[in-house]
């Protein structure tokens, strides 16, 4: 899966971004096997690490994921006691999702792993180039997020 320099035209931008995302996901999944979960499961755990107690609807929206597959992810994480669902005190129909104590030791090594993948992806970039690259990716993310929000 390699892209020749002459193929790296603006017309292929979306394909290149997609391929980079897939490669990063594969690297993450390969390195995280020992923990017994996938990148998608990690994204749920990390999102809760940042803001614990969200509803499944809130999690699905932030991860840009359909509710049924997210429900299956949460089922698996709950079964393995990484997180738990609790009734929402203000909405009887809603469940809030909370991390279990078991998950706390995961965050430091897995944040390091994610950082290592980012370092590898930007190997050879100067600090200035890396900062610009991240800023441009964030701008692209904002642009696409606005389009998704506006329907």
* Domains of the chain and any CATH numbers: 11-125 (1.10.10.10)
Structure tokens at 66: 């359909």
Structure tokens at 149: 């929000």
Average pLDDT for the chain: 89
Q: State the pTM of this model.
A: 0.77
Q: pLDDT, tens digit, for every residue of 7-51?
A: 556 668 888 899 999 999 899 888 888 887 888 898 999 999 999
CA distance 105 to 108: 7
* List of residues 6+ apart from 87 with CB closer than 8 A: 94, 95, 96
Q: pLDDT, tens digit, for every residue of 119-128?
A: 999 999 999 9
The percentage of the chain sitting over the pLDDT mark of 90, rounded to a whole number, equals 60
């Amino acid at each position: 899966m390699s892209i020749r320099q002459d193929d790296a035209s603006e017309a292929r931008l979306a394909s290149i971004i997609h391929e980079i995302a897939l490669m990063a996901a594969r690297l993450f999944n390969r390195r995280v096997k020992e923990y017994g979960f996938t990148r998608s499961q990690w994204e749920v755990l990390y999102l809760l690490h940042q803001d614990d107690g969200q509803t499944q609807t809130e999690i699905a929206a932030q991860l840009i994921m359909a509710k049924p597959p997210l429900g299956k992810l949460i089922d698996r994480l709950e079964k393995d006691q990484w997180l738990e669902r609790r009734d929402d005190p203000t909405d009887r129909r809603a469940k809030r999702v909370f991390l279990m104590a078991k998950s706390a030791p995961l965050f430091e090594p897995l944040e390091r792993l994610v950082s290592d993948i980012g370092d590898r992806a930007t190997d050879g970039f100067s600090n200035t180039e890396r900062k610009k690259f991240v800023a441009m990716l964030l701008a692209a993310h904002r642009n696409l997020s606005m389009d998704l929000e506006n329907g």
